[in-house]
A and B are shown apart, each in its own frame.
Chain A
Amino acid sequence: DTGVSQNPRHKITKRGQNVTFRCDPISEHNRLYWYRQTLGQGPEFLTYFQNEAQLEKSRLLSDRFSAERPKGSFSTLEIQRTEQGDSAMYLCASSSQRSHSSYGYTFGSGTRLTVV
């Protein structure tokens, strides 16, 4: 596996339901990031893990959102009580760290969420 893998690719859910997305980063990367992208916009940062530690959360990450990276490998992003405004592409990225700098900042293909 040479890339960042995200599942599912598409998710349609009814408003109020919970959804969970999975991200498998590049195996040697210790940093993992979640972004959200709406149509016609650039990706917006949600949260960031270094190994299993969640080091930063954006103000975009409301209480209904939670992310985990239990063993410092794959990560999950859960959205509870989905709202129509949550409809977007959810992107995962990973990078490796050398001398405090990030290398190979690579994105997955994303999970497109549609809330109906």
Chain B
Amino acid sequence: GENVEQHPSTLSVQEGDSAVIKCTYSDSASNYFPWYKQELGKGPQLIIDIRSNVGEKKDQRIAVTLNKTAKHFSLHITETQPEDSAVYFCAAMRDYGGSQGNLIFGKGTKLSVKP
């Protein structure tokens, strides 16, 4: 089955710096890769996602890159702000007709942005 590994487990940056979180996946049939932000006591919030037919996607300060050959994808946050502090999860899924519909998550990265 699919296995998703996420690094680092903790990341501390200064406000204004960039943060990068990396994930690798094992199932070459996975084709949907979302990223979630989870604040304490809340459910995961979808912040950006990418499908295997593109290599990069950007939304304001957040970008995701995907390397299908190497089976890894990364989250890039630029100009970090204290409110970006949270736990970030990557996930992978086979998303097509007949698929299970379940996301396989990494173990999470706790991001701390120091003012």
Contacts and interface: CB of A to CB of B under 8 A. Distances in A.
B32 A109 contact: no
Contact of A102 (B32, B36, B89): B32
Chain A interface bracket (under 10, 10 to 19, 20 to 34, 35 or more): 20 to 34
Contacts, number: 68
A108 B46 CA distance: 11
Interface stretch (B13-21, B72-80, B100-108): B100-108
Interface in A99-116: 100-102, 104-110
Interface stretch (A12-20, A40-48, A69-77): A40-48
B82 interface: no
What are the 10 closest A-B residue pairs judged by CB atoms, nearest first?
Answer: A42-B105, A45-B102, A100-B97, A107-B43, A48-B101, A109-B43, A56-B100, A107-B44, A110-B43, A100-B96
Contact of A45 (B34, B46, B103): B103
B24 to A, nearest CB: 14
Interface residues of B, number: 28
A105 B107 contact: no
A44 B96 contact: no
B102 A105 contact: no
Interface string B75-115: 00000000000000101010111111111111110000000
A41 B107 contact: yes
A104 B32 CA distance: 12
Interface in B32-61: 32, 34, 36, 41-46, 49, 51
A107 B42 CA distance: 9
Interface string A20-31: 000000000001
A48 B93 CA distance: 13
Contacts of B97: 100
Contact of B95 (A6, A42, A102): A102
B13 to A, nearest CB: 21
A55 B99 CA distance: 10
